[in-house]
């Protein structure tokens, strides 16, 4: 499971072409927008750092995940309440939460 998730993560990173992460800015956005639900798994949100919970999500592929983040997905609100996040930032937020 660990290996599967990290393979998916590497794919995510390669697909998005993101190499240098601005950790401080991403952490701030996570704290402000995603933490409320994803830290504790509120309403069935996949928990941050729960590799097993994220594995089936990552399998959906990058494009689908990004679309779900931007448009919302069931109890997940559109843009995860981060109205000023860019695609690249959402990408990094997903990568951060999924490992």
- Least gap, CB of 68 to ligand HEC (angstroms): 4
Q: Which is nearer to ligand HEC, 7 or 44 (CB)?
A: 44
Whether 47 contacts 40, CB under 8 Å: yes
Q: Which is nearer to ligand HEC, 7 or 78 (CB)?
A: 78
Q: How far lies 47's CA from each of 14, 19, 34, 40, in Å?
A: 23, 24, 10, 6
- Least gap, CB of 38 to ligand HEC (angstroms): 6
CA atoms within 13 A on the CB side of 70: 13
- Least gap, CB of 33 to ligand HEC (angstroms): 4
Which of 37-55 are b and which e, b meaning 16 or more Cβ less than 10 Å from the residue's Cβ?
A: bbeeeeeebbbbebbebbb
Binding site for ligand HEC (CB under 6 A): 33-34, 36-38, 42-46, 57, 60, 65, 68-69, 73-77, 80-82, 85, 90, 93-94
Q: Which is nearer to ligand HEC, 10 or 42 (CB)?
A: 42
């Amino acid at each position: 499971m660990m290996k599967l998730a990290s393979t998916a993560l590497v794919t995510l990173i390669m697909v998005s072409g993101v190499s240098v992460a601005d950790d401080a800015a991403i952490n701030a956005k996570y704290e402000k927008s995603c933490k409320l639900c994803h830290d504790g798994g509120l309403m069935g949100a996949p928990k941050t750092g729960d590799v097993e919970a994220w594995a089936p999500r990552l399998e959906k592929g990058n494009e689908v995940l990004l679309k779900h983040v931007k448009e919302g997905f069931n109890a997940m609100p559109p843009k995860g309440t981060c109205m000023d996040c860019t695609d690249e930032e959402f990408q990094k937020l997903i990568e951060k939460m999924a490992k």
